[in-house]
Chain A
Amino acid sequence: MSGVLDIEGLSVAYGPVSALEDVTLSVGAGEAVALVGANGAGKSTLFKSIVGFLRPRSGRLLFHGRDMSGFGPERRVRMGLGYAPEGRRVFPGLTVRENLEVAMFAGRAERERRLDRAFALFPQLAERQNQLGWQLSGGQQQMLAIGRALMGEPRLLLLDEPSLGLSPKLADEVLAAVKTIVAHGTAVLLAEQNVRKALACCGRAYVLETGKVVLSGATSTLRNTEEIRKAFLGA
């Protein structure tokens, strides 16, 4: 009960369509947890519910033991949640530097310190500080989205499909950053289609299938499970 994030019995629906059913999941402090599952299994829906874009039909969302159900997304983020969404969604008309600055609520000196940290994590961004968001390549946009999500110094980072549409090399680069982030003490919940990569950089994993958690446990034991193969490629 002392995790960063505790989700209990969460169900979410889009109108008549059920998207998540009775999902229970937790992330401990400083832990990296993977969320794997095929397209449409409900990974993004889960993230959107955690951030507060979707109102769950039932269940509880606790952040550091506090129920977040009444709070809007901006409040949740300021409480220490970082969100790098699927499709990156960097602000297209803001420069790289502005994209990072806009996500901080701190004094000037502190802002500079955090910018330096982001640039140290992703040196490519430092070189392109003054380019506009839409001018970046997909990989750079992904780095920017992650960097932006870290600007509030979150205690939990939600990463939704960071390798989507990236070449394998770039995907490796982005996921290598995840390890660094965890090493700095931020807990990470990572949704990935690429199972191997997800399992490689996380300690525990949950497998989602059509809105339900069908499997969970340490990645070392999950790697050889038939269920994972089934969840992706069918029986």
Chain B
Amino acid sequence: MTFVQLAINGVALGAAYALVAIGFVFIINATSAVNFAHGDLVMAGGYVAISLGSLATLPVIVTLPLVAAIMFVVGVAVALIAYFPLINRPPATVFISTLLCGIVLQNLFLILFGPQARAAPPLIKSGMMHLGAVDISIQAAGTLAVAAALIGLQYLVFARTQIGRRLRATAQDRQMAQAVGIRAYVMIAGTFGAGTALAGVAGALLANQFFVYPTGGIPLSVYAYIAVVIGGWGSIAGAVIGAMMISVFQVVVSAYVSYAVATGLLYFVLLLVFFFRPQGIFGELVQRRV
């Protein structure tokens, strides 16, 4: 494979990771807690896509809105079970509750779908398309397009719409949001829903090339976590950049050395980042209120 193809695959994978990381940041911003079930919710999205695909042989692009809608509901359910009962406890408690939630999800997958890795139908169809001198897999190109569209869409929603402004206001100061009339708890539940929907879509996109299996979500949670650390806690743009860096690094290093070395090096680099820049590479975009 040429370097250009590698880079495109890396960027396509990164786009899917970016969706995962954005959802992860949504929840961090809304609750200041880490959702460690996030990777498992990505897997859930993959399984939903597989189930829908087995009901009717439709390409994923058709069922994707339904996947997103179902995962939105799942996300609200996770908020009701693992977050709201613990809302006044320290963030570490929420972290543990999401870990436990993840365990339950992983084992539900095991019961419902078995231990083997499974693949979802392709986004449109499998195969390659020719673009000048390079061949690009249609799945990669489609993933890139869908992810780019969703990243753009979430940007527009957050930046331009009243609901986006209310979500941001709630994330920045929940109590003050209530004091200007915003239903903060509805916004938080909605944020969980939206973040989970993005994770689910990412799962449906990844599930064709990279498969889904019950414990496949754990590394994804970790990658999202790392992307956020690289990009700066709470920054959506930073998370996208972080996710891209992780995936390109992974794809390139595993092509030339091995996947294991790529992963090991990734963690090692992460530890270096911690050591030299504990505030993340890009720092925090908004200063904390003093």
Interface residues of A (CB under 8 A from B): 51-53, 72-74, 77-78, 83, 85, 89, 91-94, 98, 101-103, 105, 132, 134, 148-149, 151-152
Contacts of A105 in B (CB 8 A): 181
Contacts of B166 in A (CB 8 A): 102
Q: Contact: B176 with A89, CB < 8 Å?
A: yes
Contacts of B162 in A (CB 8 A): 101-102
Q: Contact: B181 with A91, CB < 8 Å?
A: no
- Bound form: Cα–Cα A151–B165 in Å: 15
Contact of B172 among A52, A91, A103, A148 (CB under 8 A): A91
Contact of A77 among B165, B179, B285, B287 (CB under 8 A): B179
Shortest CB-to-CB span from A215 to chain B, Å, is: 29
Shortest CB-to-CB span from A79 to chain B, Å, is: 9
- Bound form: Cα–Cα A201–B180 in Å: 25
Shortest CB-to-CB span from B183 to chain A, Å, is: 5
Q: Contact: A94 with B179, CB < 8 Å?
A: no
Contacts of A72 in B (CB 8 A): 178
Q: Contact: A91 with B169, CB < 8 Å?
A: yes
- Bound form: Cα–Cα A122–B177 in Å: 22
In the complex, B286 has a CB within 8 A of chain A: yes
In the complex, B289 has a CB within 8 A of chain A: yes
Contact of A93 among B168, B180, B183 (CB under 8 A): B168
Contacts of A89 in B (CB 8 A): 173, 176, 289
- Shortest Cβ distance from B172 into A: residue: A91
Contact of B289 among A52, A92, A102, A148 (CB under 8 A): A92
Most interface-central of A78, A102, A103 (chain B CB within 10 A) = A102
Count contacts between A and B, CB distance < 8 Å.
70
CB pairs A–B below 8 angstroms (30 shown): A51-B179, A52-B178, A53-B178, A74-B183, A78-B181, A83-B180, A85-B176, A85-B179, A89-B173, A89-B176, A91-B169, A92-B173, A92-B287, A92-B288, A92-B289, A93-B285, A94-B165, A94-B169, A94-B172, A98-B165, A98-B168, A102-B162, A102-B169, A102-B182, A103-B180, A103-B181, A105-B181, A134-B286, A134-B287, A151-B180
Q: Contact: B165 with A83, CB < 8 Å?
A: no
Q: Contact: B286 with A132, CB < 8 Å?
A: yes
Most interface-central of B175, B176, B179 (chain A CB within 10 A) = B179
- Bound form: Cα–Cα A154–B225 in Å: 43
Contacts of B175 in A (CB 8 A): 53, 73
Q: Contact: A74 with B181, CB < 8 Å?
A: yes
Q: Contact: B179 with A91, CB < 8 Å?
A: no
Shortest CB-to-CB span from B239 to chain A, Å, is: 15
Shortest CB-to-CB span from B23 to chain A, Å, is: 19
Which 7 A-B pairs rank lowest in CB-CB distance, beginning with the nearest?
A: A103-B180, A77-B181, A93-B286, A73-B178, A102-B165, A89-B176, A102-B169
Q: Mark B269-290, 1 if CB is under 8 A from A, else 0.
A: 0000000000000000111110
Shortest CB-to-CB span from A186 to chain B, Å, is: 16
